Amino acid sequence: MKRQRESRVHEQYLRHHKKFPNVWCAGCGIGIVLGSIIRAVDELQLDKNDVAMISGIGCTGRMPVYVDFNTMHTTHGRALAFATGLKMVRPEMRIIVVMGDGDALAIGGNHFIHAARRNIGLTTVIVNNLTYGMTGGQYSPTTPTGTRSATSPYGHIEQPFPITELSVAAGAAFVARSTVYHVRELEKYIAQAITKDGFSVVEAVSYCHTTLGRINRWGTAPDMMRRLKEQSISQKQAERMSAEEKAGKIIRGIFADRNIPEYTRLYDEIIAKAQQEAV
C-alpha cells in the first residue's frame, strides 16, 4: 500500500517523463525535501492546479523544474518578492517558496524579514545546508562558527543566523525545524505550514556532503545523514538540557503557531473600505 501510494504521488505531482534524472548530487537531501513537499500536498488532497512552487537560485532553486505545479524559477534572492506578487493577485492559491540558506537569508534576507513582518500567506521551505553548495562551498549566513569553507579555510569567525528565531522575531505565523533524516516529521511540518493562514517557515536541515562535508572531513553522504540523527534533539529533550549540553545541537520542533491577521485579507478589507467611501 505504501509503495502504491508513493508511485501514485510521483506520477501525479512530478514531471517524471521529461525532467529526470535530477541535477542534485547522489546523496543530497534536497530530493528528500521535494518528496516531503509532494507527499504533504497529496495528504492535504490539494489540486495541483491550485498550487504554485517558486524558487530563486542555487541547488534548491532547481526544485520547481521537477514538479507538475504552477512554477516560477526566479532570480537570486527574489523568490519571496515574486511569490508576494502572485499571492496578491491570486490569494486563493497555495504558494510554496523553496530556497537555500544563502538565497533566503543573504541576498534575499530583506525580502524574508519583510514577508514575515507582513504575514503574507506563503509557505516558505528553507533547505539549510550551511553553505553555498552550487558555487563551491563558500560560507553562508548559516555556516556555524569555526566551520571551514572555501572562503574560510581556517575556520568561520562569524555568528550564524538562527533561522527559526529570526522568523519568530520577524512575525511569522508558523515556524518549524526538522532535518532530512526525520523525513516523516518534516512532511508533517510542511503540511501544517501549507494549511496555516499566514507566513509560515519550515527549516529543513540538510548537510551538503559534496562541499561542506568534504572540506571539513565529515565523511560520506550516509555518514552525514547519521550526523543529522546524532546531532538533533527534540524540543522536549532540549528543555531538560543545559545551555552547554545544547551547544551544537539541532533542535527540532514547532517554534511558533499563532493566529495573526493575514496580509491579503487585510488588503482586501482596505479595498472594500476605499470602494465604500468612493460611492
H helices, E strands: number in the chain: 12, 10
Which of 238, 204, 214, 209 minimizes the C-alpha distance to 225?
209
Residue 191 pLDDT grade (very low, low, confident, very high; cuts 50, 70, 90): very high
Q: What is the model's pTM? A: 0.94
- Give 255's Cβ-side CA count (13 Å radius): 23
pLDDT at 5: 63
pLDDT > 90 in the chain, percent = 92
106-116, pLDDT tens digit by residue? 999 999 999 99
Side chain identity at residue 14, one-letter code: L
2 pLDDT more than 80:
no
Q: Residue 279's CB: how many other CB atoms inside 10 A?
A: 4
Fold of 2-278: Rossmann fold (3.40.50)
pLDDT at 241: 95
Query: What average pLDDT does the structure give for the chain?
Result: 95
Three-class SS state of 24: coil
Residue 86 pLDDT grade (very low, low, confident, very high; cuts 50, 70, 90): very high
Side chain identity at residue 179, one-letter code: T
Residue 16 pLDDT grade (very low, low, confident, very high; cuts 50, 70, 90): confident
Residue 204: phi and psi, rounded to 5, are -110, 105
Residue in the block written with cell 551538503? 208
pLDDT at 198: 98
Domain boundaries, the chain: 2-278
Rounded mean pLDDT of 57-64? 96
